[in-house]
Amino acid sequence: MRAADLLRQYRKSLNPPYTSNELVILLSLLFLLLVIPLTTISSRQARQLSIQAAATMSVTPNPVIAGGEFTITGSGFNPDQWGYFSTSCYGSFNVAVDSAGDLSFTRPAPIGPATCTFDVYQTEGKKQVLKATLTFEVVEMEKPGDINGDGVVNIFDASILASRWGTADPDADLNGNGVVDIFDASILALNWEG
Ligand SMILES: [Ca+2]
Ligand SMILES: [Ca+2]
Ligand 1 centre to CA of 142 (Å) is 10
Tell me: do 96 and 112 sit in the same domain: yes
Tell me: do 122 and 186 sit in the same domain: no
Ligand 2 centre to CA of 145 (Å) is 11
Q: What is the CATH number of the domain that holds 117?
A: 2.20.130.20
| Domain annotation covers residue 67 | yes
Q: Relative to the alpha carbon of 167, which ligand is closest?
A: 2
Ligand 2 centre to CA of 126 (Å) is 63
Chain centroid to CA 119: how far?
13
pLDDT in tens, the chain (194 residues): 577 776 677 666 666 566 777 777 777 777 777 766 666 666 666 665 554 457 999 999 998 988 889 999 999 999 999 999 999 999 999 999 999 999 999 999 998 899 999 999 999 999 999 999 999 999 987 888 999 888 899 999 999 999 999 999 999 999 999 999 999 999 999 999 98
Quote the pLDDT of residue 52: 46
For 16, the domain range is 3-39
**The dihedral sign for the CA sequence 175, 179, 182, 184:** positive
